[in-house]
Structure 1
Amino acid sequence: MSLLERIEGDYIVAYKSRDHDLTAVLRMLKAAVKNRQVELRRSLTDDEVLDLVLKQIKQRQESIEMYSKAGRTELAAKEALELELLRAYQPQPLSSDELYALVDAVTAEQGATSIKDMGRVIQAIMNTHKGRVDGKTVSELVRNRLSS
C-alpha cells in the first residue's frame, strides 16, 4: 500500500469515527498533495508524498517554536497535537546509536577527512535515509566527526 493510499484510507476511517483532529490534519495533507499534483500535472510518487509529509512536520515544529516564544500556549498545544498525528506517516527514525554508526560508515565510504567534505557526507546520508534522520542532528554529528 502506498503512502497516499494509507492517508486516504486513514482519512475515511477518521471521518467516519468523527475524529475531528485527525480528519483536519489529513484533510490538510491531502490538500497539499492535490496542490502538488496539479502543479506537476501528474501523480506523485511515494517519495514526493513523504516530502510533503516532512514539510508539514517541519512547519508544525516551527509554529510550535514561534507560538511558545510568543506565549500562545493554546496554539502551540494544537500544533503539537497535529505534529504527533503527522509523525504517524513519517518513517521510523534512526536511534542515536544507529545514527552514529551511519555517520561513521558514510564518512569512511565517502573518504571524508576534513570539514570541506561535510556537505557530501550529509547529502549522502539525507538521500539514503530521507525522513528517518534530522538534518540538524546529522550536520552536528558530521561536523564533530570531521573536526576530531
Structure 2
Amino acid sequence: MHIQVATKADKSAIKRFYKNNRYSASFMGDDQCFYITHHEEIVACVIVSYSKTTPFLHALVVQQNQQKNGLARQLVAQCQQQFTDIICFANNDLTEFYLKLGFVKSNANRLPANLLDRFQIYSNKNNLLQCYQYLSESASNNR
C-alpha cells in the first residue's frame, strides 16, 4: 500500500469511496487529494483544500476494516510534507491523534473568515468539534 496523489481520472472512484463509507465529501477547484489503495481498491483518503487560505485538511476517512493500521497517520504525514501550515476540524475524541502528529488545539476565532464560517456551520451540527492547527518548524520560524 502506498499513497497516491489523485488526478481527475480518480475523482469518481474517490467519490464512490466516500459514499460507500457514509461520508459526504466534495472537491473544489484547487483541492489536493491523497489516497491509499489495497488490491486496487481505495481504503483511505484525505482532501486538502487551499483556496486563497491556509490549507484545510478534511475528509480523512479510512475504510473500517483497515482502521488501526496507521493509514490515517500516513495520509496526514503526506499532507504535512506538502503544506507547512494546515488547519483541520475534528471531534475532540481525536485530540490525542492530532497532538501526536504535531497539531495543536487552536482557537476557532483566529481562523480565516471562510474557515471560521465553515467551522461555525459544522459546530452547529456537532458541538464536540475542535479546531487544530499544524505549523511546520520552518513555518513557525518565519512568524
Normalised by the length of structure 1, the TM-score is: 0.28
Normalised by the length of structure 2, the TM-score is: 0.29
